[in-house]
C-alpha cells in the first residue's frame, strides 16, 4: 500500500514519536509511506518527502514535527481550488490511505474528506490543550504542561524575592486543562479557566487575605482563552484559516495583572508563556502515547477501518469515529474544578 501522512495545526512534543510509531508499523507491512510537508498545504501543493526507516528511527526524542505544519484549511470558504488540489493529489500520488495527525481542525478536514469525498482517512489526536473529545489524553499535553509547571516553579522564586504577584498565562483556547494541571501542581494561589466564570473580586480578596497573613507574594495562572468583557484587546484581532482568534494578540494575562494591581495595590507582573511550551523533547508519557497511537493508526489502515481516530480510553487504545471526536470540545468538568478549589482558597 501507499500511505500518505501529514501533521497539521500547532506543533507539539509527541508528533515525531507518533510519526515514527506509525511508519515503523507500516514498514512491517511493506508499505511505502509518503510525508506531505506543512500539513494540508503539502497536500494542496504536492510537497512530499519519503518517510523511510532511516528518516524516522532516530526522531523519538525530538520535539516539533519533522513534516512541519501549517493551519491551511482546504474547506475554508473561498478555498475551493485548494480542495480540488487535495483531491487531485490524492489521485496523483495513488494513495491508498491518508493518516492525519492533528487536533480538532486538522482532524475536522480529515473527517470531511472521508464523509464527503470517500477519502480513506485515519486520525491521530494531537493537542497541547487536551481538548479533543473521545480520548482521555492527547500527546503533547503532558510535555507542554510540564514546561508550564517548570516555569511556574521558577517564577515563584522571583515572586517571593520581590513581594509580587505574578500572573502566568498559559495556552488553552477553549479548555483550561493546562492552566488547571500546571496551576494546581505549581501551588498557584488562583487559577482561571475558560469553563468557569471569572470572579475577579473573589480572586483579589483571596490575594489580600494571603497578604494579611504574611504571604506577600502570589501566583495566578490563567488560560489564554479566558474572557473578561472590556478588560482585554478584542477589536481587529486576526483570525486564522479555521476562524479562530489569534489569542496571542488578545492579552488576557496582562489584563488580569492590571486588574489585580488596580484592585489590591500589590505590585503585579505578567508572564505569557505562549509558544515556549510547544518546543522541547517530549516527556516519557508523550513518547509512549505517541508511539502507541501511531502503531494503532497503522493497524487501522490495514484493517480498512477508515474515518476513525485512535483514542486513549483508560489504558486502552481504541478507534472512535473522527466525526464524533471533533463534534465538541472536551472541557474541564465543573466538579473537577471544584475539587481543586480547596488548594487555592485558603
- The reply to whether 164 sits in an annotated binding site is yes
Residues 6+ away with beta carbon under 8 Å from 58? none
- The reply to whether 264 sits in an annotated binding site is no
- The reply to whether 5 sits in an annotated binding site is no
| 129 has catalytic annotation | yes
- The reply to whether 296 sits in an annotated binding site is no
Element holding 36 (H helix, E strand): strand 32-36
- The reply to whether 7 sits in an annotated binding site is no
- The reply to whether 127 sits in an annotated binding site is yes
Closest among 43, 1, 39 to 23, alpha carbons compared: 1
- The reply to whether 171 sits in an annotated binding site is yes
Q: Give the strand pairing for 121-125 and 308-313.
A: parallel
For the purposes of burial, counting CB atoms within 10 Å of the CB of 246, is it exposed (0-12), middle (13-18) or buried (19 or more)? exposed
Contact 242, 9 (CB under 8 A): no
- The reply to whether 326 sits in an annotated binding site is no
- The reply to whether 129 sits in an annotated binding site is yes
Element holding 323 (H helix, E strand): helix 322-325
Angle between helices 177-185 and 334-341 (to 10 degrees): 20
- The reply to whether 10 sits in an annotated binding site is yes
The side-by-side arrangement of strands in the sheet containing 218-223 is: 190-192, 218-223, 165-170, 268-272
Q: Of these residues, 105, 129, 131, 270, which one is catalytic? A: 129
- The reply to whether 54 sits in an annotated binding site is no
Q: What span, in angstroms and rounded, lies between the C-alpha atoms of 119 and 29?
A: 21
- The reply to whether 276 sits in an annotated binding site is yes
- What residues act catalytically? 129
Annotated binding site for substrate: 127-129, 164, 171-173, 224, 269, 275-278
Annotated binding site: 10, 104, 127-129, 164, 171-173, 224, 269, 275-278
Annotated binding site for diphosphate: 10
Annotated binding site for Mg(2+): 104
Amino acid at each position: 500500500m501507499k500511505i500518505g501522512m501529514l501533521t497539521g495545526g500547532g506543533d507539539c512534543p509527541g508528533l515525531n514519536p507518533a510519526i515514527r510509531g506509525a511508519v515503523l508499523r507500516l514498514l512491517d507491512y511493506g508499505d511505502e509511506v509518503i510525508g506531505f510537508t506543512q500539513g494540508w498545504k503539502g497536500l494542496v501543493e504536492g510537497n512530499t518527502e519519503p518517510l523511510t526507516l532511516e528518516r524516522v528511527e532516530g526522531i523519538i526524542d525530538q520535539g516539533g514535527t519533522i513534516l512541519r505544519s501549517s493551519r491551511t484549511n482546504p474547506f475554508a470558504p473561498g478555498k475551493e481550488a485548494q480542495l480540488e488540489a487535495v483531491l487531485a493529489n490524492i489521485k496523483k500520488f495513488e494513495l491508498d490511505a491518508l493518516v492525519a495527525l492533528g487536533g480538532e481542525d486538522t482532524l475536522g478536514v480529515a473527517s470531511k474528506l472521508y464523509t464527503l469525498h470517500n477519502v480513506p482517512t485515519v486520525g491521530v489526536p494531537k493537542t497541547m490543550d487536551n481538548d479533543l473529545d473521545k480520548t482521555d489524553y492527547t500527546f503533547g499535553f503532558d510535555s507542554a504542561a510540564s514546561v508550564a509547571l517548570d516555569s511556574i516553579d521558577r517564577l515563584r522564586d522571583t515572586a517571593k524575592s520581590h513581594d509580587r504577584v505574578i500572573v502566568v498565562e498559559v495556552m488553552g483556547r477553549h479548555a483550561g486543562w493546562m492552566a488547571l494541571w500546571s496551576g494546581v501542581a505549581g501551588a498557584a494561589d488562583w487559577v482561571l479557566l475558560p469553563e468557569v466564570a471569572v470572579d475577579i473580586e473573589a480572586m483579589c480578596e483571596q490575594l489580600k487575605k494571603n497578604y494579611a497573613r504574611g504571604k506577600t507574594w502570589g501566583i495566578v495562572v490563567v488560560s489564554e482563552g479566558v474572557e473578561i468583557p472590556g478588560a482585554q484587546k478584542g477589536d481587529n484581532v486576526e483570525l486564522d484559516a479555521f476562524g479562530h482568534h489569534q489569542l496571542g494578540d488578545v492579552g488576557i494575562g496582562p489584563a488580569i495583572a492590571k486588574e489585580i494591581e488596580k484592585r489590591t495595590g500589590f505590585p503585579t507582573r505578567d508572564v505569557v508563556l505562549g509558544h515556549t511550551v510547544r518546543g522541547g523533547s517530549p516527556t516519557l508519557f508523550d513518547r509512549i502515547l505517541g508511539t502507541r497511537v501511531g502503531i494503532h493508526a497503522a493497524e487501522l489502515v490495514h484493517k480498512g477501518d477508515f474515518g476513525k481516530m485512535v483514542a486513549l480510553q483508560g489504558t486502552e487504545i481504541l478507534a472512535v469515529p473522527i466525526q464524533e471526536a471533533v463534534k465538541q470540545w472536551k472541557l474541564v468538568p465543573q466538579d473537577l474544578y471544584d475539587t481543586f478549589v480547596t488548594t487555592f482558597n485558603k
